[in-house]
Copies of this chain bind each other. A is one copy, B any other.
Amino acid sequence: MAKVTIKDVAREAGVSISTVSNALNDVDVLTPETKSHVLKVAKRLNYVPNLNGKLLKSGKTNMLGFFTTSVKGAYFYILVESMARECERLGYGLNVFVTKDKQVIMSNILGGRVDGLVIYEELKIDEHDIASMEKDKIKAVFLDRVIENETMGSVIFDSYVAGYDAAKYLISLGHKKIAYISGVDTMFDSVQRKEGYLAALREHQLEMDQDYILQGYFEEEASYNAVKSFLRMHHDKVPDAFLAGNDLSAIGCIRALKSEGYRVPEDISVMGFDDIEIAQYFTPPLTTVRNQIARQGMLVIDHLVRMIQRKEQGKLQKLSSEIVVRGSCHIKLNRDDSI
């Protein structure tokens, strides 16, 4: 690589290195003629500053990093896209690191390649890592973990409220017997959604039959099987509605219901979470709960930049979600129960 350095430009222009640097960085101390001459030479030589040298000296990268173990799924591309847009607006570059190797991540974080970072968990950044980041005053925002200290914060979805709102919506349609297709019990969001659902039921004094909690593991197939076997075992207590832990579960559920001869939404309402792309194209189009992913991306970058530039403290932000009404739920007019 026959790189042209600042030295070459200096020699070629017949000035010193510092003069070149000043010209390039708009330090207002040079004669207009000197400056324009230097710039002309730099352009002629196709000079591009070496970032490593630059950063080594200045310590600022104007780069934010997003660290994640995966980018699979619509969640990530919406998130990354919105973060990138916000970064651009604020004059930062965004840098996505996809790796499962914690060592790589930590050395990039602490090695000074980015001014701040966004972290999507799963990779077990433990207390010790957090502590050493805190000690070094690393600015970071977490996406699915609650952290709140001097230099680190979180922007998360309030899944409890989401679950609560969803259940409440089904109740408002007149449903009484609402089953839940649970996700993965080790995931925070999954648990929160279920808790929210349970809270809504409790609040309305609806029966909370243990049989009404199925295990769907956030998967279509597992949910299909769970619903199918439930229907066969419990002819006597078919629910009015199913609230599924995510849209895939809802789809599996609907397929199971159809194959057992039920119509959705005429006979039974089904509601999901996430509003995945498929949701609107499915038959029936899925009523679901949508997280404000793009909003999360925007907020996370804003928060990070404020911590960097204005030395603001880290804080916890919770995002509400919105119900997307489509065609998989139906108003239930139930004469005996009406006022």
Contact = CB atoms under 8 A, between A and B. Distances in A.
Given A88-B99, A281-B281, A281-B282, A52 B52 contact: yes
A100 B77 contact: no
Interface in A275-307: 277-278, 281-283
A107 interface: yes
A109 to B, nearest CB: 8
Q: Most chain-B CB neighbours within 10 Å: which of A78, A108, A112?
A: A112
Interface stretch (A67-75, A168-176, A235-243): A67-75
Contacts of A278: 277-278, 281
Contacts of A56: 50, 52-53, 56
A96 interface: yes
Interface stretch (A117-125, A130-138, A313-321): A130-138
A93 B97 contact: yes
A51 interface: yes
Q: How many copies make up the complex? A: 2
Contacts of A55: 52
A38 interface: no
Nearest to A136: B1
Nearest to A283: B283
16 contacts: A1-B137, A46-B135, A48-B107, A49-B107, A52-B52, A52-B55, A53-B56, A54-B111, A71-B80, A74-B77, A88-B100, A93-B97, A93-B99, A96-B97, A251-B281, A281-B281
Interface of A: 1-3, 46, 48-56, 70-74, 76-78, 80-81, 84, 87-88, 93-101, 104, 106-108, 110-113, 132, 135-138, 251, 277-278, 281-283
B99 A51 contact: no
A81 B71 contact: yes
Given A50-B112, A93-B104, A96-B97, 9 more contacts: A1-B137, A3-B136, A48-B110, A51-B108, A52-B55, A52-B112, A84-B98, A278-B278, A281-B281
A52 B49 CA distance: 14
